[in-house]
Every structure is written in structure tokens, then in C-alpha cells.
Structure 1
Amino acid sequence: MKLVVIGANGNLGSKVVKQALNRGHEVKSIVYMCNTESLGTEVIDKNLFDLTQADLGEAEVIISAFGGGFKANPVINKEAYEKYIELLEGTDKKIIAIAGAGSLYTDSTHTMREYEVPGYSPKLSAISQNIKLGVDKIKERNDLKWTVVCPSRKFDLEGPYTNNYKVGINEEIIFNEDGNSYVTYEDLAAAMLDIAEKDLYNNKVVTIATVSVSKEEL
């Protein structure tokens, strides 16, 4: 499969690239102002918002690990989804885009989202609200192929690759066998690639949780 990975040099994107290459996929990495020697792929050094459909070439699936970060204006997270729509229009490509746990509902009642919980970080709340606004925009586009993927509450950079994860499809926080809302970066990367390979969850928002991690692995 031909893939484009946006944010290929980041914590999540670099894991997506590595796993994709291990699975035998052809990968084009989109990075911005960084050292790309370790990626081992074709590289385009370009800001997400400057990308064109031509940059995507013959890729069948775009995996976006883009995140605006804490220093950027939170509205950039909404604008990212507007850019995804622009990149997809008139094509048969699919995008699998990372979102955030903060934009999910807290439970099955769907009465409150994570960012609305009292005491939630104001900065994270603004980021999550803008992610939700962006997701709402892409939800309107049933003529495009997309899947939005949210991590669990605890998103563990140092956690192991277990390739044993569960998927929530109701836009709400899910819990694993240990009673935690927890996912490793490695397992999230694996889930995004599985969605790409099997063409799963079209036009849906999903969330991923690592099923279980032993104390020895943490």
C-alpha cells in the first residue's frame, strides 16, 4: 500500500512510519523543518497547511499524526481538519487522522465531553474544543473517506508494543481489562495501520485502548 504520513517525525508519526515500513508499505513522509535522515522514506519538508493534492501523489491512504501542540493557537487544530477536507476533495483517497481524548464523551450517557469536566486544563480544553469543531466539519462530508482516531486518556509514549488493543465506536472514553483508559503510542500506530490496511471504520470516530499491560512492561 502507498501511504503518506503527515507529522512523520513526531512521537506518533515516527512509530507509524517504522511500523508501516516493517509491514512492507511504500511510505512518503511529510515533515516540517526537521532532521529526516532516520526516516528511511521519501520525504517532503512542508507545513501541513502548504500541502497540495499533488504532494500526495499516488498514495491510497493518508495517515495524519499532526498535532498543533501547546504553544500554537488552539484554532490550528480545527484548521487541520479543514485542510484534510481540501486534500481529499475530488479524490478517492482516505485519511486516518489523530484527534484527542478530550473531544470524547466521558461515558455512555453522552451528556458531557472530557473537556467539559470541571477542573480540566483550560489550554487542553481549548485544543479539544477546536478538534471537535474540526471533526464536526469532516463529519458533514459523506462524499469523502475518513476515519478519526482518538487515544485514551493516558497516552503512553514509553509503553510497549502489544498489538492487543480494543476499539470504541461510540465516541466515548473506553477502559481496558485493567480498568484504565490507556493506550501506548505503539498500539495506536498499529491500530491506525490496521484501519488503513483493512479499510475499517469509514466516516467514523473511534478510540483505541491497549487491552492490558503488565507491571513488568510498564
Structure 2
Amino acid sequence: MMTKKIAVVAANGRAGSLIVEEAVRRGFDVTAIVRGENRTAAQNSVIKDALELTTEDLAGFDAVVDAVGGWTPETIPAITDAGIHLADVLVGTDVRLLVVGGAGSLFVNPEHTVTVDMGPDFPDDWKPLSAAAGKVLAHLRETDGLKWTFVSPAADFQADGERTGEYILAGEEFTLNGRGESTLSYADYAIAMVDEIESGDHVAQRISVVSK
């Protein structure tokens, strides 16, 4: 099998760095796209802002992972801006775009009309973050000629959680594990993301991941 060649945008972040680590562990040829010094295990690096990336910059990769995050009012808009920009520059190419998404846009009813972030218990502080990721998902759904996959984590997404090597792969609906929990470590999320890059099973789909 040919070595997978992937790029991880915002690779120095918490999710991005673990995705890089998992991909390198499996023998992928990984390029970290970062705004400053590469602090990851990636073999290669490109120092460039996500919004400045061009179609030519991303040519030749099998997949590009959008791991751009934000936690403050100043940085949250970057989630939407980067996701939409990467989608637009990859339209019409064979390069897959995999987006580190959020749980807030998962559906809680069979009709797919109500999402997690509409619930009364959803924290107000999280709503801008959920909305930013939701805008990216909406743009992906509306974009033709793009090989995208949006990967939503569990509601309790644990940066320092254990790498168990196991997870439940679900779809558009909010899913609980056998203990009635929606939890997931960043490390297990990275495994699921790299599994999806390897399999290519969910092009033009949103999937979700929860711990076993």
C-alpha cells in the first residue's frame, strides 16, 4: 500500500498534534501546517496561516485535516473562516478534507430538526464555538465537487484523556456509550480520524465518535 501523504492544518494545537502523532505512528508522510515553529512529530512542515493556503500548497496530499480551533471571542471566528477557506481551495481536487468538528450540531431527534446546542442544558459559553463549527458543516454540505468528512467528537471531549485504542463510530445523531456517557479522549479521537483517512468510507458525510 502506498504511504498516505497528509497535511494537518493547525498541527501545533491539542487535537492537531495528536492526529499528527497517530498518523506518523502508522507510517504516514505528514506535513504540519503551522503559523510558527513546528512542535509536532511531523516529518515536514509549512509555516503559513490557514487563510493564506492555496490550491497549489495543498496539491499532492491524499488528505488535509482542518484542526483549527478557538476558545475566545477573538479566536473562535477562525474556525469558520479556516474551514470555509480550505473547502473552497480544495473544490474540484482529489484531496480529501477532514474537519475536526464539534458535538453541538449533532441531532437529538430522528427527524434531524433539533441539535444538541438547542437544548436548555447547553452552556451559553459554548454556543459561539458550536455555531462556528456548525457554519463550516453547513458550507461543506452546500459545496459540490469536494471530498469532505466532518468528524464530531463526544460532548465531553477530554484533552488529557486516556488513549484506549477503542471507540464507537456513529453518524449524525447524538450517541451515548454503554455507560450512558458521551465522552472521548483527544487521543482516541485522533485514532478515529486517522482510521477515516485510511478507509475513506464517509466521503461527503458527517460522522461522530464516542468512547466505548
TM over 0.5: yes
Q: Distance in 2 between matches of 1:28 and 1:40?
A: 6
What are the residue-to-residue correspondences of 1:17-166 with 2, within 5 Å?
A: 17-33=20-36, 35-72=37-74, 74-166=76-168
Q: Secondary structure at the match of 1:105?
A: coil
Identity value in percent: 28
For 1:191, give the aligned amino acid.
Answer: A
Asked if the contact 1:142/1:203 (under 8 Å) is kept, the reply is: no
Q: Give the structure 2 partner of residue 12 of structure 1.
A: 15
Which one-letter code corresponds to 2:131 in the other structure? Answer: Q
Q: Is the 8 A contact 1:74 1:126 kept in 2?
A: yes
Deviations 1:182-212 (A, max 9, x none): 111111101111111111111001110111x
Alpha-carbon separation, structure 2, partners of 1:65 and 1:43: 15
Alpha carbon RMSD of aligned pairs, Å? Answer: 1.8
Structure 2 unaligned blocks of 5 or more: none
SS in 2 for 1:78: helix
CA–CA separation in structure 2 for the residues paired with 1:68 and 1:24: 29
1:155-184 Cα shifts (integer Å, max 9, x gaps): 111222222111111x22111122100111
Give 4+ residue runs of structure 1 displaced > 6 Å after superposition: none
- SS of structure 1 residue aligned to 2:17: helix
Q: TM-score, normalised on structure 2?
A: 0.91
Q: What's the counterpart of residue 214 of structure 1?
A: none
Secondary structure (helix, strand or coil) at the match of 1:155 reads strand
Distance in 2 (alpha carbons) for counterparts of 1:17 and 1:129: 26
Name the CA distance, whole Å, in 1 between partners of 2:156 and 2:179.
Answer: 13
User: Conserved in 2, the CA contact under 8 Å of 1:9 and 1:39?
Assistant: no
